[in-house]
Amino acid sequence: MKTAPANQRGSALLIVIWAVVLLAGLIAGMVATGGSEAALTSNMINTARANHLAAAGVQHAILALLDPDMRAKLLKQSPTEFSIQLADDATISIRIQDSCGDIDLNWSPPELLRAYAMTAGLKTAAAGKFSEAVTAHRQASPHASAAWQSVRELGRLPGIGGAEFAALSPGLTVNCREAGADPHRAGVAVKRALLLAGTNGSVSHELAYQVESRATLVSGAEVRLRASIWLSLDDGKPYRIAAWERF
């Protein structure tokens, strides 16, 4: 039997080695791709679960608000916060706030808007421009009582950057539909604004609420939802969700 020359045997061995290297690289790539796809699928599942749990938190808050006794108990101090711990250590954190403790962009008079902007940290001139811009937008809209659909829309105004928005947004709403704010449900900046504007505010009608729900899983996945709720005196439809957003 003839034996292949040494140089041929060496070439064949080199080809085999390269084939093994390429095959190993291909297998490693397939494993890595499979692992990435598995991780991506796991992340999607966790995010979807967190989203459903956050939505469940909103519904839990609505059920509490529909019970007059529970609502009175929860809202002795607004906002009120509580958490639900699940068996797998996932947590749902819920925050309920009477929307009429805030200043409504669609209903509040210019002097109250200006006073609030000043208590929120804007200088006098900037506060005046803010008030003028908010009321001008209302006047330009065919539906002035709903010209502002979201507090986030303030970011479109000239001079309202990230810092200004962060300072202003906590005490503003589009969900109360009253010209004043209830000082018993208001935060510090809103209370100061009422005093500065020379108004006593208005008593809450206790129909409008903002609910924030945050679901956190042990995996680290987290989803936060915010809903604007209106209670109704209609037994057929006891509530409606006026706005729903993820933030």
- Furthest CA-CA distance within the chain: 112
Query: Is the pLDDT at 154 greater than 90, yes or no?
Result: yes
How far, in Å, are 26, 32, 191, 232 from residue 40 at the CA level? 21, 12, 47, 42
Query: Is the pLDDT at 33 greater than 70, yes or no?
Result: no
| Secondary structure of residue 186 in the 3-state scheme | coil
How far, in Å, are 58, 76, 101, 233 from residue 80 at the CA level? 14, 8, 13, 23
pLDDT: which is higher, 4 or 181: 181
Query: Is the pLDDT at 32 greater than 70, yes or no?
Result: no
SS (H, E, C) 110-132: HHHHHHHHHHCCCCHHHHHHHHH
Q: So what's the pLDDT on residue 234?
A: 72
How far, in Å, are 98, 165, 213 from residue 13 at the CA level? 79, 69, 64
Query: Is the pLDDT at 28 greater than 80, yes or no?
Result: no
Q: How far is CA 13 from the centre of its chain?
A: 63
Contact status, residue 201 vs residue 182, Cβ threshold 8 Å: yes
Residues 166-206 have pLDDT tens digits of: 999 999 999 999 999 999 999 999 999 999 999 999 999 99
d(CA 30, CA 39): 14
Using the 8-state DSSP alphabet, how is residue 71 labeled? H
The mean of the pLDDT values for the chain is 87
Do β-strands 103-104 and 172-173 pair in parallel, antiparallel, or remain unpaired? Answer: parallel
Chain position carrying tokens 């109360």 = 176
Name the band, by pLDDT with cuts 50, 70 and 90, for residue 50. Answer: very high
d(CA 191, CA 195): 6
Query: Is the pLDDT at 21 greater than 70, yes or no?
Result: no
Residues 74-118 have pLDDT tens digits of: 878 778 999 999 998 899 999 999 999 999 999 999 999 999 999
d(CA 161, CA 180): 26
pLDDT: which is higher, 147 or 24: 147
How far apart are the two ends of the chain, measured CA to CA in Å? 78
| Secondary structure of residue 147 in the 3-state scheme | coil
